[in-house]
Amino acid sequence: MVHSLRKGRTSVYFQHNHTGHSIGAENYESEVVDGKAILRFSLRPVDGNQRFDEEYLHTHELISVDVDDSTVIDGLRKYLKSQRQELISWELQILSRGKKLSFAVEPQLMEHGARQILRLCVLVAGG
């Protein structure tokens, strides 16, 4: 069952090998399927610079994604806690330019003072 975490727009930070970008995102959702926790959102760039950054995401290797919206993080934590199955893996799904980009990820919850950041580190196949 898909669980809505946030409909409104926030920014998400994308880390690549030699650069990073923030891009607007919305419609955050989560679900658990066969032990896999899935976090998904849709990209909504707000200007030409973010549209360029979105194109970069489609053409360059992704290292990690940072979500720092407390509504999303707290909602995801509560939703996953309510599930009655063991989580075996995580997947990040990004809806962008009519495509669904999927990444196997490992979550890390970090705290910087009162601010929380959910970092989703992309797992490399065979690595």
Structure-token pair, residue 93: 């799904």
Instruction: Tell me if 121 sits within 8 A of 63, measured CB to CB.
Output: yes
> What is the per-residue pLDDT for 126?
46
In a domain, 127, yes or no: no
Structure-token pair, residue 23: 């891009």
| Predicted TM-score (pTM) of this structure | 0.92
The residue range of the domain holding 103 is 3-122
> Quick one: CA dihedral 13, 16, 20, 23, positive or negative?
negative
Q: Where are the alpha helices (DSSP H) in the chain?
A: 48-59, 70-82
Looking at the structure of the chain, the number of domains it has is: 1
The model's confidence at residue 125, banded by pLDDT at 50, 70 and 90, is: low
> What is the per-residue pLDDT for 81?
92
